[in-house]
Chain A
Amino acid sequence: MQPAIHDAATLRQQQLRRIIRSHKRRDIAFGVLGLLAMMVGVLTLAALFTGMAIDGIPRLSGDFFTSFPSRRAGQAGILSAWVGSILVMGVTALFAVPVGVAGAVYLEEYAQKNWFTDVIEINITNLAGVPSIVYGLLALGMFVYTFGLGQSILTAGLTLGLLILPIVIVTTRESLRAIPQQVREGAYACGATRWQVVHDHLLPYGTPGILTGVIIALSRAIGETAPIITIGALTFIAFLPPLPFSGDPPAGVFDWLFSPFTVMPIQIFNWTSRPDPAFQQNAAAASFVLIFMTLGMNALAIWLRYRLRKNIKW
């Protein structure tokens, strides 16, 4: 009898061991699977980058940055595109940063809890999910035809400004919320008004966080193509808009806002859609510049966030 029980016990033990082993194997297998899944993303990024570099870098020269687009691929450049991108980004930032930060300050520091505040909050969440091309349609119907702003730098800047507004608002609110309550209470105890608290304390402390959000938002805006195509921006622009503030004052100062323009992503789209491989090389070179700009901005934001987390201890 005794050995039989003993055998049964060892058998059971062996079975358990086997089960545990198989569970552990599955555990490790999933770990490997997770790593592989991440590798898909990372390798795509790497392939994208190297592919772009191999095709594009030979075309990158000083001339590429200082020439206008041309019918001959070898002489074409991105001068009007990068100048247009910078001007549009300027308008976008000038619109989205003050409006977004002010809206966030209202929601975070002023708003009472009532149905209207709820409407604004739900609305911002929903706007963040609206496809970017719908903003293009809004701009086409509103800015271009209803307000008569035309297919101008101003229209594009405002469109992208509306597009990134939810991002600016959300990140500003987050960075305001991260400021401890004592800061507010201390200021109020000294007799400060609400605006004084916001202006003298909360905004300065929140600036790094807000800046991070703004940079990420702008890096998204600079790569946006669909809304700008939708408002009907021309794809072939072989001249520069007048320099900001160069016209005769007072009317000419804002000439540049109403000038036709092109931006980097549109230039890339234009070159990509031509069958000639020489133009596609141009597209690769321009993509390389654009990707460098956006990833550079993203990296800057990540670095800022990292610095921020390390330095501030409330």
Chain B
Amino acid sequence: MTAVAIPARDAMISEPTLGAAKLAEYARLKHRRKIRERLIKAALLLAACVSVLTTLGIVYILLKESLDFFSHVPLWDFLTDRQWTPLFDDAHFGIMVLLSGTISSSLVALLIALPLGTTIAIYLCEFAGHKTREVMKPLLELLSGVPTIIYGYFALLFVTPMIQKIYPALPGFNVLSAGIVMGIMIIPYVSSLAEDAMRAVPMSLREGSYALGATRYQTAVRVVVPAALSGIAAAYILGISRAVGETMILAVAAGMQPNLTLNPLEPAATVTSYIVQVALGDLPHGSVGYQTIFAAGLMLMLLTLFFNLVGYWMRRQFREAY
């Protein structure tokens, strides 16, 4: 129909074209359109691949520089040495020292973030009215929007002096106040993910519980939380990997001196704050000191990867199907 109608109309406006030529023209246009579509699709695919390339780039750089590093420093020393003095003449590379700082600061942060985050999630999901939730959720999310450098400043100049009033022996740089502030920063990550998980629990479970005469608290703790366990575990894992990767709060408020201790009342360097410390000085490209930050970065990546895998495993293990 159209193939006949279009040449007829064209014949009235311009010089008469043969139907076959017109059809060929349309075929050409269609072909061009197809090619253009294919090009666009290729460009979009390329954009999607940037993220894969990023990962490959990270893995490549970390492995390359770390391999160089481990050709100078035996892996066994790296894992077992009890000193971390990479920039001294008598260089020691015991990652344990930095890991102890990371572990103690993360523990302090998680002791704050996990209980508070879970409580807030339960409250917002099971107790709070619609209006409270609409106001409080964005307000809490602002907590994770504050730049970490400002939290560092806050920990150093507000929280530490406050704790010093109660416990005067606390040094100016310490893991405790950095950890506390870090924990408060992590609360929204934990609470909003955990709340999403609890919200996904079907209403019928809650209704069943209420029908048996349970209170909101009983319903939350005995029905909703167990049913949402896999999601809550995922929220915890996210919180942990945030804590492990946090940098600036620790670099500003925890001091940057390597210290093999789990005592949060002392200053300590973490894996992340060590990287910052080295980057602030100017180490020549290719020196062992330069390579240490990549070895430290590799350690950090392995830690986060480990937690991601644990999270994945937990999600599968505790998944409740409805």
Give chain A's interface residues, CB within 8 Å of chain B: 23-24, 26-27, 30-31, 33-35, 37-38, 40-42, 44-45, 47-48, 51-52, 98-100, 102-103, 105-107, 110-111, 119-120, 123-124, 126-127, 129-138, 140-142, 145, 162, 165-166, 169, 193-195, 216, 219-220, 222-226, 229-232, 235, 265, 268-269, 272-273, 280, 283-284, 287, 290-291, 294-295, 298, 302
Contact = CB atoms under 8 A, between A and B. Distances in A.
Given A131-B272, A134-B58, A106 B45 contact: yes
A162 B56 CA distance: 13
A239 to B, nearest CB: 20
A38 B150 contact: no
A232 B278 CA distance: 9
Nearest to A283: B153
B119 A133 contact: no
Contact of A302 (B138, B148, B150, B280): B138
B134 to A, nearest CB: 9
A33 B221 CA distance: 14
Contacts of B119: 30, 33-34, 37
Contact of B37 (A111, A130, A193, A268): A193
A33 B120 CA distance: 9
Contacts of A269: 149, 152, 248, 251-252
Pairs of residues from A and B, 4 with the lowest C-beta to C-beta distance, nearest first: A131-B245, A223-B147, A34-B123, A102-B47
Which of B54, B143, B308 has the most A CB atoms < 10 Å from its CB?
A: B54
B120 to A, nearest CB: 5
Given A123-B52, A129-B241, A137-B294, A268 B58 contact: no
Contacts, number: 255
B122 A52 contact: no
A133 B275 contact: yes
B184 interface: yes
B216 interface: yes
A137 B147 contact: no
Contact of B245 (A103, A133, A142, A284): A133
* Main DSSP-derived SS at the B contact region: helix
Interface residues of B, number: 83
Contact of B146 (A23, A48, A280): A48
27 contacts: A27-B216, A30-B217, A31-B123, A34-B122, A34-B127, A41-B140, A44-B181, A48-B158, A51-B158, A123-B55, A129-B241, A133-B276, A133-B297, A134-B300, A137-B58, A141-B294, A166-B51, A225-B247, A230-B293, A265-B149, A268-B149, A272-B157, A280-B153, A287-B149, A290-B149, A295-B145, A302-B138
